[in-house]
Amino acid sequence: MVCPPRPEKMRSLLPLLLLLLCEAGSRAAPKPNFVLIMADDLGIGDPGCYGNRTLRTPNIDRLAKEGVKLTQHLAASPLCTPSRAAFMTGRYPIRSGMASQSRSGVFLFLASSGGLPESEVTFARLLKNQGYATALVGKWHLGTHCRNNSDFCHHPSSHGFDHFHGIPVTNLRDCKPGQGSVFTSALRLLAFVPLQVIAVALLTLAALRWLGLLRVPGLAFAGLLLLAAAILGALLAFLHYFRPLNCVLLRNREISQQPLSYDNLTQRLTEDAARFIRRNAETPFLLVFSCLQVHTALFASKDFAGKSQHGAYGDAAEEMDWSVGQILNVLEELRLTNNTLVYFSSDQGAHVEEVTSKGEVHGGSNGIYKGGKGNNWEGGIRVPGLLRWPGVIEAGLEVDAPTSNMDVFPTVAALAGAALPQDRVIDGRDLMPLLRSQSQHSEHEFLFHYCNFYLNAVRWHPRNSSSIWKAFFFTPNFTPEGANGCFLTHVCFCNGRFITRHQPPLLFDLSTDPRERAPVTPGAEPRFWEILDTMQQAADRHARTVQAVPNQLSLPNLLWKPWLQMCCPSSSGLSCQCRQEQRDRGGRA
């Protein structure tokens, strides 16, 4: 006869049973990993899964097939720096001071003092506090220093990333010899025009003096010649030093290559991302793989150069797709696929004005959508949005509701078990109800589209309607007339003579007119004034939540400062040359 266990014995076993159950539960549901891939200037019309039939993107398309495709995924800004600030913080860039009031809306110099404030909370910082290993490989573009070249106040390491390997600023034509310059217009205005004026003045004064019509002292000629020499010297110094001083590759806080070399650059960064995953396969990790491609200067290794149907742009895009595939393969090899949320997007739309002096198109495709990078027509802000998590997210699902790259912040935080900051406005919304088909409607009833510092447009998706209204307070003046971009200035500007204001605002229904071709009129829409009034009230409510903060993209913060300049330890003066990148394979991150 078997005796039943005594109550005292059962009570003593109860804590042990609870401990075993808790341990089993924790093993059954480990924290997910996150791989967030951000392309640079990739248009929504570029990947095959969004309709392209000639550009080969099998790995990006694989994410769409095995996960969810967002068809109305929106960048919070149509420019690199503010869009990336919003992505990292889940907040409109105006809240962090990362929205410029001048023409330049991005950082161009390594030795600028502006950047993402230390007071901002990134998803990397939240996850690091939850025990995650964190890394950013690729492009940062959110500042480096504040007061000296060793404080690294804006560096990724000050924003929650254990490991950084990439470029602190951005990839520019000036970084690759023979690819031209983004400063052509500025150099013409600040150097060539003054030199021409000085030359005309010298010739005029010399003629007047020779004819005896005016007594011109020799000091006047000397002064003009000295001024011309100073301008010419500054021009030559800029052209000589810009590349080594600004086009650098960092490994954490150390320069590993100056100026950076494009030789197998995608392969080097991809290998580093793969090593990070391998090192942290047994612990939760966050990898932000921030592609340098397809921003100009375009580059591709010999395995991809000349292989696409779209010239240098297609070569770069197809190499970037290869790098996405390499990361997916590592996850599969290590059996991490089912416990990893992969996100793929672009920081803004394709740069349609990127056309070389020879007529070669170096910008991508925004599909059917109007405009592109630098403006808030749909082509500038509607970007690819793909998410994959096998077993959790339904494969092959399409979500048409408006979503934002700011939504990644609260989504990742919730899945990692991190509480959102309570001392600030978070503009992003958790994507999981949409991704799990628990909701068909976005939590974003309204979205606000900024052109740098200025509120440009409002998007409204009414709860009880299929309409998606978009009202423009102003639009950029495309040049030349009839073009699909601001080709004369290379990118559209946000104020002054470069825009046209609309009163009443220009209204579109994107559900029936996604190409934004035919503005809605009071005669065609009986609720025209009611719709605009609702959107204006929403804009007013939003404006009341925006607090004044220091402008990180002010002219003083944008300017190059010699005391913030980083150079190779082995270099002297401003030579700043170190050719070989040193690989550091050690460390947890």
DSSP secondary structure string for all residues of 387-437: EE-TTTS-TTEEE-S-EEGGGHHHHHHHHHTPPPPSSS-------HHHHTT
- The residues facing 382 across adjacent strands are 74
**What CA dihedral angle connects 221, 223, 229 and 234, to 10 degrees?**
-150
Buried/exposed 16-28: b ≥16 CB within 10 Å, e otherwise? eeeeeeeeeeeee
Range list of β-strands (E), 264-381: 285-290, 340-346
- Note the pLDDT of residue 214: 84
- Give me the residue label for tokens 């800004």: 77
Catalytically annotated residue among 3, 49, 73, 80:
80
Query: Which residue blocks in 67-159 are alpha helix, DSSP H?
Result: 80-89, 123-129
Q: How far apart are CA 68 and CA 543, in angstroms?
A: 33
Q: How far apart are CA 493 and CA 496, in angstroms?
A: 8
- Note the pLDDT of residue 569: 81
- Residue with the bigger pLDDT between 548 and 589: it is 548
- Could you say which DSSP state residue 383 is in? E
Q: What is the pLDDT of residues 414-449, one digit of tens each?
A: 999 999 999 999 999 999 999 999 988 889 999 999
- Note the pLDDT of residue 584: 40
Q: What is the pLDDT of residues 258-298, one digit of tens each?
A: 999 999 999 999 999 999 999 999 999 999 999 999 999 99
For residues 61-66, average pLDDT: 97
- Give helix 80-89 / helix 408-416 axis angle, nearest 10°: 30
Between strands 403-404 and 68-74, the pairing is parallel
Q: Among this protein's residues, is 141 annotated catalytic?
A: yes
Q: Which helix (H) or strand (E) holds 507?
A: strand 499-509
- Give me the residue label for tokens 């995650």: 132
Average of per-residue pLDDT values in the chain? 91
Q: How far apart are CA 52 and CA 488, in angstroms?
A: 28
Q: How far apart are CA 91 and CA 76, in angstroms?
A: 9
Q: How far apart are CA 492 and CA 472, in angstroms?
A: 15
Of 183-197, 393-407, 471-485, where does mean pLDDT reach its minimum?
A: 183-197
Q: How far apart are CA 82 and CA 100, in angstroms?
A: 9
Task: Indicate if the pLDDT at residue 47 is higher than 50.
Answer: yes
Q: How far apart are CA 299 and CA 479, in angstroms?
A: 28
Q: What is the pLDDT of residues 106-138, one digit of tens each?
A: 999 999 999 999 999 999 999 999 999 999 999
Q: Are 164 and 140 in contact (CB under 8 A)?
A: yes
- Note the pLDDT of residue 563: 95
pLDDT-based confidence at residue 576 (cuts at 50, 70, 90): confident
Catalytically annotated residue among 141, 310, 362, 444:
141
Q: Are 390 and 328 in contact (CB under 8 A)?
A: no
The answer for residues whose C-beta is within 8 angstroms of residue 260's C-beta and 6 or more apart is: 167, 175, 247, 248, 249
Task: Indicate if the pLDDT at residue 103 is higher than 90.
Answer: no
- Note the pLDDT of residue 589: 45
Q: How far apart are CA 81 and CA 232, in angstroms?
A: 31
- Note the pLDDT of residue 17: 54
- Note the pLDDT of residue 20: 54
Q: Among this protein's residues, is 80 annotated catalytic?
A: yes
CB atoms within 10 A of CB 397: 16
- CA-nearest of 328, 372, 370 to 64 is 328
- Note the pLDDT of residue 138: 97
Buried/exposed 111-121: b ≥16 CB within 10 Å, e otherwise? bbbbbbbeebb
Q: How far apart are CA 27 and CA 184, in angstroms?
A: 58
- Note the pLDDT of residue 128: 97
Q: Are 187 and 236 in contact (CB under 8 A)?
A: no
Q: How far apart are CA 507 and CA 537, in angstroms?
A: 15
The answer for residues whose C-beta is within 8 angstroms of residue 146's C-beta and 6 or more apart is: 113, 115, 153, 154
Buried/exposed 251-276: b ≥16 CB within 10 Å, e otherwise? bbeebbbbbbbbeebbebbbbbbbbb
Task: Indicate if the pLDDT at residue 1 is higher than 90.
Answer: no
Q: What is the pLDDT of residues 340-366, one digit of tens each?
A: 999 999 999 999 999 887 888 899 999
- CA-nearest of 311, 310, 281, 383 to 37 is 383
| Residues counted in the chain | 589
pLDDT-based confidence at residue 216 (cuts at 50, 70, 90): confident
CB atoms within 10 A of CB 164: 23
- Note the pLDDT of residue 2: 47
Of 185-189, 552-556, 583-587, where does mean pLDDT reach its minimum?
A: 583-587
Percent of the residues in the chain that have a pLDDT greater than 90, as a whole number: 79
